[in-house]
Structure 1
Amino acid sequence: MHRFNRRDTLALGVGALAAASTLGTSAKAAITTADVAAPKIDIEKGATLRVLRPTKFVDPDETIFNANTQNFVKATGVQVKIDYSAWEDLRPQTAVTANTGAGPDVVLGWTDDPHLYSDKLIELSDVAEYLGKKYGGWYPLAERYGKKFGTNNWIAIPFGGSGGPSVYRISWVKEAGFDTFPTNLDDFLKLCRKLKEIGHPAGYTFGHATGDGNAFCHWLVWAHGGYMIDENQKVTINSKQTIEALKYGKALFETFIPGTQSWLDPSNNKALIAGDIAATQNGVSLYFSIKNATDPKIAAMTPDLNHARMPVGPVGHGTETALAINSMVFKHSKYPNAAKAYLAFMMEAEQYDKWLTGTYGYWAQPLKGYAESDVWKSDPKIAAYRDTMKDSLWYAFKGPINEASAAVVADYVMVDMAASVATGVATPEEAAAEAERRAKRYYKG
C-alpha cells in the first residue's frame, strides 16, 4: 500500500521520481497533440482518493505510476493512497467494492470488469472525449471496453493493453527445422511436435491465468471460427468450429511441457527463463525481465529471443486478444471530480508517456497518438506489441461487451472448456456442451 501527500512528493527529490522523469523525456517530445480545452472539473474541497490496481509485472511500473501520482498530489493537493493487488485477487476485490459500496474510489480493473458494474459507476465521457480529441482518437478495442454497450457513454478509461504474441528461442526454433516462427496452424503444430522431440518443448497456458490462459484459449477457438456468442447475444460456442479447435488444442497440449493446465500468469515466465520451454505466449514483460536481468546468464538469452504474432487459422485473420487495464470510478466515491481529474492527469503525455516508455510498452497505448512514442523505436523485437489495442479482438467477440460477457470471462468458461479436452477429462463434444450450459446461465432469455 502506498499513501501519498504533499510532503512525500516534495521530499522525494531523487530516486523514483527523478528516474521516472528521465524515462519519458525524449518520448514525450514525439507525441503529437491537438489544441483542445480540458474539461472543467472542480475538485472537491478536502478530497482524498483511494486507488486499487494490479501489481507490477514489469519492475518500473509501480515506481513510475507512484511518481506520476505524486505529481498529481503536488499539482492538486489531493492525497492519494494506492493499493496493489495480485492479479488473481483483483477481480474478487473489485467485486467486494462494487457489492458493498465501500472501498476504493478508483479501480484499475481488468478488461471488461467495468461492464459487470456499469450501474454502480459514474460516467466518464467528458474525460474520455477530451483525451480522444487531444491524442488522435481511441483505438477500436479501447472504445469497446470504455463505452457502455449500445451507447456513447464512457463508463471506463482504458489505460492500455498487454498483447499476447509468441515469445520464442530463435536457436531452438531453427534446430526444430523452422527459419521463422510459423504463421499457420499446421506448421505451428509441426513446430511444437518437433520442439518436444528435441527436448525443448513449448508451453502455452491452459490454466486460470487472467492474462495468459484467457489469451491462449480464446485465440485457439477464434482461430478455428468458433466464438462464445453472436451479434444477437445468442450462445453459439457449441459448434463444429469449436469442436475442431478443441481437437487441435488437445494435439498441441500433448506436445507441451507437463502441467500447463495449472499454470497461472507467472508460470510460463519462470519456465522460459529457466530454459524449460522454447516458446510461449506472453506480454513484453518476459522479454523485458530477461533483457534487464542482473544475472548475466539470464541476460545472455536476449539475443536468442524474438516475438511473433500467433498463427492464423481458417478464419484468415489474426485472433489475438489483449488483457486491458481499465479504470472505473464508483458512485460511492465522495470525491468523483477528484477521481476524474486523477484519471485525466495520469493519461496526459507528461505522465503517460513516462509510464509507457519506462514499462517498455507492456500496457500498449489505447490512444492513437502514443503510437509515436519512442518506446516503439527503441527495440525492433517489441514491434509486435505496438498495435495491441488497434487490431486485437475483444473477449466477447462477436457479441457485445456487457455484464453477461464479463461474467463468462471471469468464470473462465472458455479456458475450462479447452483445458478439459486437453487433459482428457471431457470429449470435445462434451466440453462444448458444458461451456454452452455455463454461458447460458449468464445469457438468460
Structure 2
Amino acid sequence: MTLSRRDLLLGTAGLAAGAAGAQLLGSGPAFAQAAAPAYKPEQGASLRVLRWTPFVKGDEDSWLANTKKFSDETGVQVRVDKESWEDIRPKAAVAANVGSGPDIMLVWFDDPFQYPDKLMDVTDIATNFASKYGGYYPGLEGYAKRDNKFIALPLAAIGNGILYRESMLQQAGWSKFPEKTDEFLEMCKALKAKSKPAGFALGKAVGDGNNFAHWIVWSHGGKMVDESGKVAINSPETIKALQYARELYQTFIPGTESWLDINNNRVFLSGDISVTANGVSLYYSAKNDPKMADMAKDIRSTTLPVGPVGQAVELHQTTSAVIFQYTKYPNAARAYLQYMLDKPQMDAWITASSAYCCPPLKGMIDNPVWTSDPVHEPYKRASSTLRTNGYAGPLGYASAATMADYVMVDMVAEAATGQRTPEEAAKRAEQRANRYYRV
C-alpha cells in the first residue's frame, strides 16, 4: 500500500469504535489499588509500545521499571521501543492507515484526531481516573477527547520555559530577566552586542519549533482560527507578531531556521548562546555532566515573556497514549495503560523525570519534585496553563493536520528570516490552513 503525504495527514475521520466488553482482573497485588474497571489480559498476550526518545534518562528508566512491574504481575511481556520526536507522528499515521505496528503509542498534541476511528475507546479508564484524581486539566483532556469520548489517555505536558545563563545577562547589563516582549527584544539586542546571542528553534521541531512559533503569534493576539473554526491567521495581530519575529531573529545566532528539537540543546550547552526555550532536560544535561558543573550553577529558568495581549499564552508539548484497534490483545493494552497511568506509577515517573513531565490529573500535581530545585518551579504550571494548538477553535482533523504540516512554524520562520514579508507569510499560512479547515 502506498501512502501519500495527504494520507499521512488525513487519516480516516470517524469515532473510535466501541471496545470489547471488559473482563475484571483478578486480585493481584499491583492491581488491588488500580482504578476500576480493570482488565484481564488475554492468555499469552504480549504488547509492543512505541514511545518518544527521552531527553531525561530518569523518564525512560522509570517507565521501563514500571513496565517490568506490570509484566511481573500479569505475565504480559511488553517490548518498549523508541523513536525520535519528529518520527513519532508519521509512524503513528502509517500504523493507523495500514493497520499494523505497535499496539500502543505515545503521540503528540492532537495526533489522535487524524485517525480517530483507528483507535480504541478508553473512556471508561479516563473517566474513572478523572473521578478518582480530581479531574483532568482542560488542555490535556482536550487533546484526548472527541465527541465526549476519550480516544486517547492524557499522559503529560512537557513544560516549555526559558533557560538562560545568569552571568551572560549580567554582562549584557541585565540584572533581571524581562517579563515583557518589548523588553525581551532589547535584552536580546544587548546579548548579541555584548555577550552571547539568544537562539530559538525555527525549524520543523515538534516541540521547540511549535512552542516558540505559537508563543510569538499568541502573545500578540494572533490565532490560527476563530471560535467557530474559521481560519483567522491573516490578521493585523499576526502581522505585528511576525514583524516582532523578524526583529527578534536578527539578534539570534545564525542557523536557527534549520534547528530541530536537539539543536538548541547542543548550542546552548556548547556555550554559544545565552538564552533559549526548552524543557528542564536542558538544565539536567549540564547538571549531570561533571565537566559542566560551573555552567549548571549559572543556569536559571523562567516563563516566556508576556506580549501585547497582557497575559501568559503558551503551548506546551503534550503527549497522550493511544491503543490501535488492530491490536490482538486489547484487554492487555487497556490493563497496561490503566496500570502505568495510575497514581503510584505516575508519581514515580514524574519524580524520576525531574520536572520534565507535568501530570494530566489535578490530583497528581502535588509532587515534591517541583520544590526540589528552583529551576523546576516554572515547569509546574505546564498542565494548568496549556493552550491547545487549535486555539481559538475546536480540536479535530483540521487542527491536527495543520499542526502536522507545520503551518504556524513555517509562517513564523518565513517572516523571521525575511524569506517572505509578514504579509506574504500570513497569506500563505491562511491558504495552507484553509486546505484542512475546509475539508
TM score, norm. by length of structure 1: 0.89
Aligned partner of 2:424 in structure 1 is: 430
Aligned 8 A contact 1:204 1:260 in 2: yes
Unaligned runs of 5+ in 1: 1-34
Aligned partner of 1:285 in structure 2 is: 281
Q: CA–CA distance in 2 between the matches of 1:393 and 1:131?
A: 22
Q: CA–CA distance in 1 between the matches of 2:123 and 2:357?
A: 22
Aligned partner of 2:358 in structure 1 is: 364
Q: CA–CA distance in 1 between the matches of 2:311 and 2:247?
A: 22
Equivalent AA in structure 1 for residue 401 of structure 2: A
Q: CA–CA distance in 1 between the matches of 2:148 and 2:437?
A: 23
Q: CA–CA distance in 1 between the matches of 2:92 and 2:314?
A: 26
Equivalent AA in structure 2 for residue 394 of structure 1: T
Q: Does 1:163 align with 2:138?
A: no
Aligned 8 A contact 2:171 2:195 in 1: no
The equivalences for 1:296-445 within 5 A come to: 298-444=292-438
Determine helix, strand or coil for the equivalent of 1:312: coil
Cα distance, 1:37 vs structure 2: 5.2
Q: CA–CA distance in 2 between the matches of 1:369 and 1:170?
A: 34
Q: CA–CA distance in 1 between the matches of 2:158 and 2:79?
A: 25
Aligned 8 A contact 1:36 1:133 in 2: no
Indicate how the Cα distance of structure 1 residues 85 and 187 shifts in structure 2: closer, same or farther if over 3 A, else same.
same
Determine helix, strand or coil for the equivalent of 1:84: strand
Cα distance, 1:166 vs structure 2: 0.6
Match for residue 137 of structure 1 among 122, 135, 138: 135
Q: Does 1:248 align with 2:256?
A: no
Determine helix, strand or coil for the equivalent of 1:300: helix
The equivalences for 1:91-106 within 5 A come to: 91-106=89-104
Q: CA–CA distance in 2 between the matches of 1:204 and 1:187?
A: 17
Equivalent AA in structure 1 for residue 371 of structure 2: K
Cα distance, 1:161 vs structure 2: 1.1
Cα distance, 1:36 vs structure 2: 8.6
Q: CA–CA distance in 1 between the matches of 2:139 and 2:187?
A: 31
Q: CA–CA distance in 1 between the matches of 2:139 and 2:310?
A: 20
Cα distance, 1:82 vs structure 2: 1.3
Equivalent AA in structure 1 for residue 108 of structure 2: W
Q: CA–CA distance in 2 between the matches of 1:293 and 1:141?
A: 35
Q: CA–CA distance in 2 between the matches of 1:181 and 1:81?
A: 45
Q: Does 1:117 align with 2:115?
A: yes
Cα distance, 1:349 vs structure 2: 2.5
Q: CA–CA distance in 1 between the matches of 2:416 and 2:308?
A: 20
Aligned 8 A contact 1:36 1:130 in 2: no
Aligned 8 A contact 2:34 2:342 in 1: no
Aligned 8 A contact 2:58 2:353 in 1: yes
Determine helix, strand or coil for the equivalent of 2:178: coil
Aligned 8 A contact 1:324 1:363 in 2: no
Aligned 8 A contact 1:157 1:328 in 2: yes
Cα distance, 1:202 vs structure 2: 0.4
Please give the per-residue CA displacement for 1:115-137, whole angstroms capped at 9, x wherever unaligned.
Answer: 11111111111111111122222
Match for residue 228 of structure 1 among 185, 209, 224: 224
Match for residue 149 of structure 2 among 129, 133, 153: 153
Unaligned runs of 5+ in 2: 1-32
Aligned partner of 2:272 in structure 1 is: 276
Equivalent AA in structure 2 for residue 47 of structure 1: A
- Considering only aligned residues, what root-mean-square deviation do their CA atoms show, in Å? 1.3
Please give the per-residue CA displacement for 1:233-270, whole angstroms capped at 9, x wherever unaligned.
Answer: 10000001001100000100000000000001011111
Determine helix, strand or coil for the equivalent of 2:365: helix
Please give the per-residue CA displacement for 1:348-377, whole angstroms capped at 9, x wherever unaligned.
Answer: 232111111111021111111221111112
Aligned partner of 1:201 in structure 2 is: 197
TM score, norm. by length of structure 2: 0.91
Please give the per-residue CA displacement for 1:244-303, whole angstroms capped at 9, x wherever unaligned.
Answer: 1000001000000000000010111111111100100000100122112132xx121122
Aligned partner of 1:70 in structure 2 is: 68
Q: CA–CA distance in 1 between the matches of 2:35 and 2:143?
A: 25
Aligned 8 A contact 1:36 1:134 in 2: no
Aligned 8 A contact 2:172 2:195 in 1: no
Q: Does 1:187 align with 2:195?
A: no
Cα distance, 1:386 vs structure 2: 0.6
Q: CA–CA distance in 2 between the matches of 1:353 and 1:177?
A: 41
Stretches of 4+ aligned residues off by more than 3 angstroms: none
Determine helix, strand or coil for the equivalent of 1:49: strand
